[in-house]
């Protein structure tokens, strides 16, 4: 039995607070993960986890042991990565996540071009509008927007996006155009996933709560509804710029447009960043900045 046995399983379980989620992350069976952690506790003669039917949590000894195990795993993985990538060529598996619409339109095509140039690299992309915990779920990289708060992650700005308020010419012919933010209270708003729309009044940030009879958590669906004349929407510029240029949508209240949001590559703190992550981030920065 290796003295490493059970450490990866323990760390994954502690971070996921679940044997089943840890098993999914590691590609193992739930019973196998549970047995490995129990065997580790037996060797240490110390309970590391409290177990209930719904979740697991760390004991005091487990919390102290987790910090050391994380460092051991990081050192091991960095050493393996350094040896495997001595020629600078990325290889192995890179797992990344991004929101669905932005990922499909911008990130995936850029990653595809990167993959063609690096045939030893395998890439797994998870497109999900939920903010995934990339540390506990074992992702190498995520693309995120706006303000970032997770201190476990390093962030590199790749590009920016802005939100634009707009409506179709047909709708505006019927309802008129809002002249100020408060006028939106009298308009049909086409609602997406967010409950508030950000605006700026000089240096002041304003959060407006739109109301309307139509809502969908898909940006593309919001765009289609707005083009159909159902009301006013606020969407990231990459959805609406082409329709505005073609005259199918009319921009509104541009003088109150919110500040640009950052588009960020985020990844866990590592003393030695693997070449596969470093080179892909550099590639995305070149492509997305344009």
Q: What is the CATH number of the domain that holds 80?
A: 1.10.10.10
Residue 138 falls inside a structural domain: yes
User: 51 with 122, same domain?
Assistant: no
pLDDT of residue 2: 67
pLDDT of residue 163: 94
Strand partners for 15: none
Q: Is 283 exposed, middle or buried (0-12, 13-18, 19+ CB in 10 A)?
A: middle
CB 267 within 8 A of CB 273: yes
pLDDT of residue 80: 67
User: 30 with 45, same domain?
Assistant: yes
CA separation for the pair 143, 129 (Å, rounded): 11
pLDDT of residue 268: 83
User: 149 with 107, same domain?
Assistant: yes
pLDDT of residue 83: 63
Residue 254 falls inside a structural domain: yes
Residue 116 falls inside a structural domain: yes
Take residue 102 and report the two structure tokens written for it: 């932005």
CATH number at residue 184: 3.40.190.10
pLDDT of residue 30: 92
User: 144 with 266, same domain?
Assistant: yes
Residue 1 falls inside a structural domain: no
User: 205 with 274, same domain?
Assistant: no
Name the domain boundary from 51, 84, 117: 84
- Supply angle C-alpha 273, 277, 283, rounded to 5: 125
pLDDT of residue 82: 63
pLDDT of residue 136: 73
Name the domain boundary from 39, 67, 84: 84
CA separation for the pair 115, 103 (Å, rounded): 15
User: 54 with 18, same domain?
Assistant: yes
Question: Which strands form 92-98's sheet, in the order they lie side by side?
Answer: 121-127, 92-98, 141-145, 261-268, 153-161
Residue 2 falls inside a structural domain: no
User: 13 with 33, same domain?
Assistant: yes
pLDDT of residue 284: 95
pLDDT of residue 49: 93
User: 272 with 233, same domain?
Assistant: no
CB 12 within 8 A of CB 26: yes
Strands (E), the chain: 49-51, 56-58, 92-98, 121-127, 141-145, 153-161, 163-167, 190-191, 197-201, 204-208, 214-215, 233-236, 250-252, 261-268
pLDDT of residue 26: 87
Range of the domain at 59: 7-84
CA separation for the pair 76, 23 (Å, rounded): 20
State whether residue 35 is helix, strand or coil.
Answer: helix
CA separation for the pair 114, 106 (Å, rounded): 13
Question: Which strands form 250-252's sheet, in the order they lie side by side?
Answer: 233-236, 163-167, 250-252
Number of domain units in the chain:
3
Residue 130 falls inside a structural domain: yes
User: 208 with 130, same domain?
Assistant: no
CB 71 within 8 A of CB 36: no
User: 108 with 60, same domain?
Assistant: no
Chain centre to alpha carbon of residue 17? 21
User: 131 with 65, same domain?
Assistant: no
pLDDT of residue 89: 77
CA separation for the pair 73, 10 (Å, rounded): 11
Residues of the chain with pLDDT under 50: none
User: 100 with 75, same domain?
Assistant: no
pLDDT of residue 221: 94
Q: Is 187 exposed, middle or buried (0-12, 13-18, 19+ CB in 10 A)?
A: buried
């Amino acid at each position: 039995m290796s003295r490493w046995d059970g450490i990866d399983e323990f760390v994954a379980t502690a971070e996921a607070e679940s044997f089943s989620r840890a098993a999914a992350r590691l590609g193992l069976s739930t019973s196998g993960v549970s047995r490995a952690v129990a065997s580790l506790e037996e060797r240490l003669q110390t309970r590391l986890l409290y177990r209930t039917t719904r979740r697991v949590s760390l004991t005091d000894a487990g919390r102290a042991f987790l910090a050391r195990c994380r460092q051991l795993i990081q050192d091991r993985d960095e050493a393996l990565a350094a040896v495997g990538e001595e020629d600078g060529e990325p290889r192995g598996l890179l797992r990344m996540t991004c929101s669905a619409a932005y990922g499909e339109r911008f990130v995936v095509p850029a990653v595809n071009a990167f993959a063609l140039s690096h045939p030893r690299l395998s890439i797994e992309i998870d497109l999900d509008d939920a903010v995934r915990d990339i540390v506990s779920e074992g992702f190498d990289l995520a693309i995120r927007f706006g303000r970032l708060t997770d201190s476990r992650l390093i962030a590199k700005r790749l590009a920016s996006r802005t939100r634009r308020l707009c409506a179709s010419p047909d709708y505006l012919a019927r309802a008129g155009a809002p002249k100020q933010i408060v006028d939106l209270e009298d308009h049909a708003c086409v609602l997406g996933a967010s409950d508030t729309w950000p605006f700026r009044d000089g240096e002041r940030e304003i959060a407006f709560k739109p109301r309307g009879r139509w809502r969908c958590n898909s940006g593309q669906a919001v765009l289609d509804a707005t083009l159909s004349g159902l009301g006013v929407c606020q969407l990231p510029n990459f959805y609406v710029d082409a329709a505005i240029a073609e005259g199918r949508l009319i921009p509104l209240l541009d003088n109150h447009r919110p500040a640009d949001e950052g588009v960020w590559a985020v990844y866990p703190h590592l003393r030695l960043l693997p070449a596969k992550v470093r080179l892909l981030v550099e590639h995305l920065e070149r492509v997305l900045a344009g």
